[in-house]
Amino acid sequence: MKNLSLILNVVLLAAIAHLYYLNSKKSGTENVAITPPASMNAGAKIAWVNADTLDAQYEWLKTQKVAIEQRMKNAGNSIVAKRDALAKDMMAFEQKAQAGNSAPADLQKEYDALQARQQRLGEEAEKLDHQISEDQKKAFNDLYANVEAQLKTLSSQIGYDYIFSYSRGGQILMASDSLDITKQVLELLNAKKD
């Protein structure tokens, strides 16, 4: 019984040694030098800017967000107040109609006026939504233009060929901190007076 255990251990050891030999021989042929892309050999300079940090720390953008949020709040409050007034007037109309003290022609005229008012209110809400959407689009375009202008300035000063936008969960999965120029870009953007 002891000999059987010894024989199995020797066979197992021989098999492991043989696998090690095959693996080392195989990995020796696969150790091919990885050459960087031609652009790296030519000295392409790449950097990235953290979009989340710009979003949180770019003062102009913060101001734009606050202004748009205030316009949205004001528009919402205005529409809610007008809808409440319309609902109150509709309830008064229903009470008037149920009381039966008004002529049917007068009730129809008042009902038509309430319906037209409701339609105008819907159109006004839609117009305000569109206007706020346009304001947001303009703010985004201005943001892009500001960032692009500052990146061109920074690129010409330091000589970057590519500057990427990085955000966690975005298209770029990993970025070396040594290539992060977010701080410099933020300083340029926040120093710019519009």
pLDDT at position 6, please? Answer: 46
Angstrom distance (rounded) from CA 79 to CA 128: 9
Q: Are 189 and 73 in contact (CB under 8 A)?
A: no
Residue 87 located in a structural domain: yes
pLDDT at position 117, please? Answer: 94
Do 8 and 99 sit in the same domain of this protein?
A: no
Do 48 and 21 sit in the same domain of this protein?
A: no
Q: Are 172 and 164 in contact (CB under 8 A)?
A: yes
pLDDT at position 181, please? Answer: 84
pTM of the entire structure?
0.60
Do 83 and 157 sit in the same domain of this protein?
A: yes
Plot region of 49 (φ>0 → left; ψ -120 to 50 → alpha; else → beta): beta
Spans of the chain, pLDDT less than 50: 1-6, 8-15, 17-19, 27-41
Do 153 and 96 sit in the same domain of this protein?
A: yes
pLDDT at position 167, please? Answer: 83
Considering its fold, how many domains does the chain have in total? 2
**Residue 73: strand, helix, or coil:** helix
pLDDT at position 194, please? Answer: 53
Question: Of how many residues is the chain composed?
Answer: 194
Range of the domain at 7: 1-32
Do 28 and 112 sit in the same domain of this protein?
A: no
Residue 39 located in a structural domain: no
Q: How far apart are the first and last CA of the chain?
A: 90
Do 114 and 20 sit in the same domain of this protein?
A: no
pLDDT at position 124, please? Answer: 93
pLDDT at position 2, please? Answer: 46
Q: Are 151 and 45 in contact (CB under 8 A)?
A: no
pLDDT digits 0-9 by tens, 23-62: 555 544 444 333 333 444 456 788 888 888 888 898 888 8
Do 25 and 55 sit in the same domain of this protein?
A: no
CA atoms within 13 Å, Cβ hemisphere of 98: 6
Do 82 and 2 sit in the same domain of this protein?
A: no
Q: Are 188 and 153 in contact (CB under 8 A)?
A: yes
Plot region of 142 (φ>0 → left; ψ -120 to 50 → alpha; else → beta): alpha
C-alpha distances in Å from residue 59, one per residue of 69, 102, 188:
15, 60, 11
- With tokens 């040594």, the residue in question is 178
Do 64 and 110 sit in the same domain of this protein?
A: yes
* Token code pair at residue 38: 């031609």
pLDDT at position 80, please? Answer: 93
